[in-house]
A and B are shown apart, each in its own frame.
Chain A
Amino acid sequence: MEQPGELRFDRASDLLERHRTRLRTGCARMDEVLGGGLLDRGITEIAGEASAGKTQLALQLIFQVQLPRSEGGLQGGALFLHAEGGEAPVKRLRQIGSAFARRWSSAGATVDRLCDNVFIDRIETADLLMNALRYRVPTLLATRAVRLVVIDSIAALFRTHLDDDLPRRSELLHAIAAEMQALSDRMHVAFVVLNQITDSVDTPDTPDAACTAVPAVSKRAALGLAWSHCVNTRLLLSRAQARPFAPPRLQPQLAQLGGALAEQQPRPGARVELRTMRVVLSPCVEQRSCEYVIDADGVRDATDDETAHG
């Protein structure tokens, strides 16, 4: 079934131009911390607590990837593999698409055309993902110019796996990662994998610990050490602690909406919540962090005003 491809020897100097491309996130400070954006190949993991903005960032990337290369995109469509409970976030996708189309209207972007380049599929289990990566995804990639595959989320795929069979889980995770790596190189597609995090109160310096600024409690990405070895880049999103945000009258609405503020135009005087993105693992940039906000335009830089007041 698996055929060894032809082994190629390249000089690093020849790879330099080929692999210099980055996928911009659409948030300038994030891009700066990432050294220009996400790698255009391999596996980038976005981990974070519920409503930290993982899906929001992923949906934005689905539109960013469609931009021409001169604008930091990869000039291709995206595939969204949905594994979390509930419906695929089609409504949010359209909302972010509308805002994105407004911003790029001069370049002829329309929300319909943007959404037409997005493929959505539902995946229930890790075995089904493996199957999709082997058969269905390559078929799609062969016929359509897809440059980004988002998996939301890898942790959800393993919810039915028993915790006591860790060796089997570790093997399956490595197999999935290897399949993604092979597809990434063969079809020139980048993988963005969302992951949940778990709180850990024991020794914070264990390998897969993705420590936040909060001492004693460390947030670490789910699926353990084996999966940590499989990702090329790991970004940790978190909602900043004890930051003042919208006035009290907005609070119930916010709770209802979770992190999805996309359809809410910022009201006069209302301040949006500051969030933090931290590079936890990367083969090419330092472990740095930056702040960002989520509003009607999607994920964007925190303005000086917000940072000062926050």
Chain B
Amino acid sequence: MAVSFPVAALVVPQEVKAKLLAHDYQSSADVLAVTPVQLSRDCAMSTSDAQRVSAASASASQPHALLAGAKTALELLDEERAEHPIVTFCKELDDVLGGGIRCKQITELCGEPGAGKTQMAMQLALDVQIPVELGGVGGQALYVDTEGSFVPDRVEQMARALCTHLRAAAAHSGSAADLAAAQRVSASGLLDGIHVCRVHSHREQVALVRMLPAFLAAHPLVRLVVVDSIAFHFRHGFDDYGARTRLLLSHALALLRVAVRHALAVLLVNQVTTKLAQPAPGSTAAGADADGGASVIAPALGETWAHVANTRIQLLKARVGAELERSALVDKSATTPRVSVAFQVTADGVRSARRRTAKRVLDELNGGAHGEQRVWQ
């Protein structure tokens, strides 16, 4: 069944549409009723323009042509349910994120130096490889290292801990299939599943993202692309901030396109910066600065950048007594309210924070020893 569309909806230049309307061609049906030659004579347009109008009318008249590729909300929901998110290994954070880091999305991870951004990113590069049988994604990771902080032997240490964990979990479930899947995971195998690319300038960074479709075609198992950090090379070498923002946004758009087309998760690590401004929602107050003006810690790269990520997670650290307490604040998300959860970075990697007992809090307040009273989650 042919559907008729108004001339205004046709994908042809504006002046061509004007000529069609001036000569009383109102819809695609009107156009298709005559030959291109007739059309060109009637509307005083070139034959090539007339042929283009004809072709556009014909393709637009196919059922659903204008909505090609569109899906219903139900189809999207089914797809989303079929996609496993990538777990962070901090259970509370996974719960807040609806299971972990989502595919087909950009997740931004920002925080002060030493907040655990790189540790979280390295952990996710391993977690994406958890076999499907054990509830994982069974993929690989591409780690774009812009700051030189990817330390392979640290990743190996975390990989060993992940192997031990998976084997223990499989043994607990007792299923033979789980056990077999866990036995196939090895630390060296996990390191094989992380592709690392070191970039030294924003030019290389942009070039890399242009090369991504070819890389992903050769490595179809990749389900996670980490850029650690997105900010470093965009914070020098630009005289014109407008040009920087434009390049940065097109860079992010290219990454989002890759994420959607290849159904993978993009994790962008961002730095933070000090701003002398009114505390905006989403920034942490950092007390008064030397000039007496209020300064706030906010994610780097400016206001426009804040719209890029689908989910933004801020990592924070605070010193409580002798202990370093880390928390993750899910700052921007379409699925959850703004909420903060505690986590820790151990020799094994990112884990849930240990629960503080009332006894331990008291000990801390008294400055006493509290090594023995730790209760592990």
User: Quick one: CB contact mask for B314-347 with A, threshold 8 Å, 1 for yes?
Assistant: 0001110000100000000000000000000001
Q: Given the complex, which residues of A lie within 8 Å of B272, measured CB to CB?
A: 207, 225, 229
User: Quick one: CB contact mask for B258-274 with A, threshold 8 Å, 1 for yes?
Assistant: 00000000000001111
Count of chain B residues near A, Cβ 8 A:
57
Give the docked Cα–Cα distance between A182 and B232 (Å). 13
Does A178 lie within 8 Å of B319, measured CB to CB? Answer: no
Q: Counting CB contacts under 8 A, is B237 at the interface?
A: yes
Contact of B197 among A8, A206, A224 (CB under 8 A): A8
Supposing A9-B197, A178-B232, A182-B200 touch, asked if A228 and B113 sit within 8 A by C-beta, the answer is yes
Supposing A175-B237, A224-B274 touch, asked if A11 and B319 sit within 8 A by C-beta, the answer is no
- In the assembled complex, how far is the CB of residue B279 from the closest CB belonging to chain A, in whole angstroms? 14
Does A280 lie within 8 Å of B114, measured CB to CB? Answer: yes
Q: Counting CB contacts under 8 A, is A284 at the interface?
A: yes
Q: Counting CB contacts under 8 A, is B95 at the interface?
A: no
- In the assembled complex, how far is the CB of residue A235 from the closest CB belonging to chain B, in whole angstroms? 13
Does A206 lie within 8 Å of B287, measured CB to CB? Answer: yes
Does A202 lie within 8 Å of B204, measured CB to CB? Answer: no
Does B149 lie within 8 Å of A207, measured CB to CB? Answer: no
Contact of B235 among A42, A170, A232 (CB under 8 A): A170
Does A11 lie within 8 Å of B191, measured CB to CB? Answer: yes
Give the docked Cα–Cα distance between A281 and B112 (Å). 11
Q: Counting CB contacts under 8 A, is B152 at the interface?
A: yes
Q: Given the complex, which residues of B lie within 8 Å of A15, measured CB to CB?
A: 150, 152, 196
Give the docked Cα–Cα distance between A20 and B203 (Å). 29
Give the docked Cα–Cα distance between A184 and B297 (Å). 30
Q: Counting CB contacts under 8 A, is B215 at the interface?
A: yes
Q: Counting CB contacts under 8 A, is B81 at the interface?
A: no
User: Quick one: CB contact mask for A271-292 with B, threshold 8 Å, 1 for yes?
Assistant: 0000000001101111100000
- In the assembled complex, how far is the CB of residue A21 from the closest CB belonging to chain B, in whole angstroms? 10
User: Quick one: CB contact mask for A192-213 with B, threshold 8 Å, 1 for yes?
Assistant: 0000000000111111100100
Does A7 lie within 8 Å of B204, measured CB to CB? Answer: yes
Supposing A185-B148, A202-B287, A229-B232 touch, asked if A13 and B195 sit within 8 A by C-beta, the answer is no
Give the docked Cα–Cα distance between A185 and B196 (Å). 14
Q: Counting CB contacts under 8 A, is B199 at the interface?
A: yes
Binds A, one of B30-38, B43-51, B153-161, B357-365: B153-161
Contact of B273 among A9, A205, A226, A230 (CB under 8 A): A226
Closest to A198 in B: B290
Q: Counting CB contacts under 8 A, is A308 at the interface?
A: no
Q: Given the complex, which residues of B lie within 8 Å of A287, measured CB to CB?
A: 114, 324
Give the docked Cα–Cα distance between A154 and B32 (Å). 73
Closest to B300 in A: A229
Q: Counting CB contacts under 8 A, is B286 at the interface?
A: yes
Does B152 lie within 8 Å of A20, measured CB to CB? Answer: yes
Does B153 lie within 8 Å of A20, measured CB to CB? Answer: yes
Give the docked Cα–Cα distance between A115 and B204 (Å). 39
Does A12 lie within 8 Å of B297, measured CB to CB? Answer: no
Does B236 lie within 8 Å of A178, measured CB to CB? Answer: yes
Closest to A21 in B: B153
Q: Counting CB contacts under 8 A, is A305 at the interface?
A: no
Q: Counting CB contacts under 8 A, is A116 at the interface?
A: no
Give the docked Cα–Cα distance between A239 and B249 (Å). 47
Does B347 lie within 8 Å of A12, measured CB to CB? Answer: no
Supposing A16-B152, A283-B151 touch, asked if A229 and B201 sit within 8 A by C-beta, the answer is no
Does A281 lie within 8 Å of B113, measured CB to CB? Answer: yes
Give the docked Cα–Cα distance between A174 and B192 (Å). 32
Q: Given the complex, which residues of A lie within 8 Å of B297, measured CB to CB?
A: 206-207, 225
Q: Given the complex, which residues of B lie within 8 Å of A205, measured CB to CB?
A: 317-319
Contact of B207 among A4, A175, A230 (CB under 8 A): A4
Give the docked Cα–Cα distance between A8 and B204 (Å). 11
Give the docked Cα–Cα distance between A11 and B189 (Å). 10
- In the assembled complex, how far is the CB of residue B167 from the closest CB belonging to chain A, in whole angstroms? 20
Closest to B288 in A: A202
Give the docked Cα–Cα distance between A234 and B112 (Å). 14
Give the docked Cα–Cα distance between A203 and B148 (Å). 30
Q: Given the complex, which residues of A lie within 8 Å of B91, measured CB to CB?
A: none
Give the docked Cα–Cα distance between A178 and B237 (Å). 10
Does B113 lie within 8 Å of A12, measured CB to CB? Answer: no
Q: Given the complex, which residues of A lie within 8 Å of B287, measured CB to CB?
A: 202-203, 206
Give the docked Cα–Cα distance between A13 and B156 (Å). 9
Does B233 lie within 8 Å of A178, measured CB to CB? Answer: yes
Q: Counting CB contacts under 8 A, is A129 at the interface?
A: no
- In the assembled complex, how far is the CB of residue A67 from the closest CB belonging to chain B, in whole angstroms? 21
- In the assembled complex, how far is the CB of residue A57 from the closest CB belonging to chain B, in whole angstroms? 21
Q: Counting CB contacts under 8 A, is B143 at the interface?
A: yes
Q: Counting CB contacts under 8 A, is B84 at the interface?
A: no
| Closest 5 pairs (CB-CB, A-B) | A207-B112, A174-B236, A13-B191, A284-B154, A175-B236
Interface CB pairs A-B, < 8 A, 8: A4-B201, A7-B199, A11-B195, A13-B192, A19-B151, A174-B235, A205-B318, A228-B113
Interface residues of A (CB under 8 A from B): 2, 4-5, 7-13, 15-16, 18-20, 35, 39, 41-43, 170-172, 174-175, 177-178, 181-182, 184-185, 202-208, 211, 224-226, 228-232, 234, 280-281, 283-287
